[in-house]
Amino acid sequence: MRDLFPQDLIKRWDDALKRSERIVLSTHMNPDGDAVGSLMGLGLFLRQLGFRVSMVCPSPYPGFLKFLDPDREILVFSRNREEVIQKITEADTIIAVDVSSFSRMEELGEILEDKKAFRVLMDHHIDPDSEGFDLVFSTTKISSSCELVYRVLKLWRPESVILKEQAVAFLTGIITDTNQFANSVYPETFNVTSELTACGANTEDIFDKVYRNFSYNRMRLMGYALQNIRLLPQYNAGYIVLTRDVLEEFGYRNGDTEGFVNFPLAITGISVSAFFLQREDHIKVSLRSKGKIAVNGIAKDFFNGGGHYNASAGKMEDAVDKIEELLKKALGTIIA
Using CB under 6 A, list all residues that contact ligand 5GP. 104, 125, 261, 286, 305-308, 311-314
Can you tell me which of 25, 34, 111, 193 binds Mn ion, judged by CB under 5 A? 34
Residues 143-172, one symbol each (x = binds Mn ion by CB under 5 A, - = not), give: --x---------------------------
- Residue 271's SS3 state is coil
Q: Classify residue 151 by its DSSP letter.
A: H
Task: For ligand 5GP, give the closer residue by CB, 29 or 85.
Answer: 29
Q: Choose the contact partner of 305 out of ligand 5GP, Mn ion, none; CB within 5 to 8 A by kind.
A: ligand 5GP
E strands within the chain?
Answer: 22-26, 52-57, 75-76, 93-97, 118-123, 135-138, 230-232, 237-242, 272-278, 283-289, 306-307, 311-316
CB of 176 to ligand 5GP, least distance (A): 10
Ordered DSSP codes for 60-93: PPPGGGGGG-TT--SEETTT-HHHHHHHHHH-SE
- The answer to whether residue 258 forms part of the interface with Mn ion (CB under 5 A) is no
Rounded to whole angstroms, the Cα distance separating 211 from 198 reads 22
Give the residue nearest to Mn ion (CB).
34
Can you tell me which of 98, 129, 147, 165 binds Mn ion, judged by CB under 5 A? 98
Task: For Mn ion, give the closer residue by CB, 98 or 256.
Answer: 98
| Segment contacting Mn ion by CB under 5 A, of 27-35, 82-90, 211-219, 256-264 | 27-35
E strands within 134-282?
Answer: 135-138, 230-232, 237-242, 272-278
| Segment contacting Mn ion by CB under 5 A, of 12-20, 28-36, 219-227, 304-312 | 28-36
Beta bridge partners, 287, equal 274, 312
CB of 144 to Mn ion, least distance (A): 5
- Residue 156, amino acid: W
Q: Choose the contact partner of 125 out of Mn ion, ligand 5GP, none; CB within 5 to 8 A by kind.
A: ligand 5GP
- Residue 190's SS3 state is helix
- Residue 230's SS3 state is strand
- The answer to whether residue 177 forms part of the interface with Mn ion (CB under 5 A) is yes
Which residues of the chain form contacts with Mn ion (CB under 5 A)?
34, 98, 145, 177
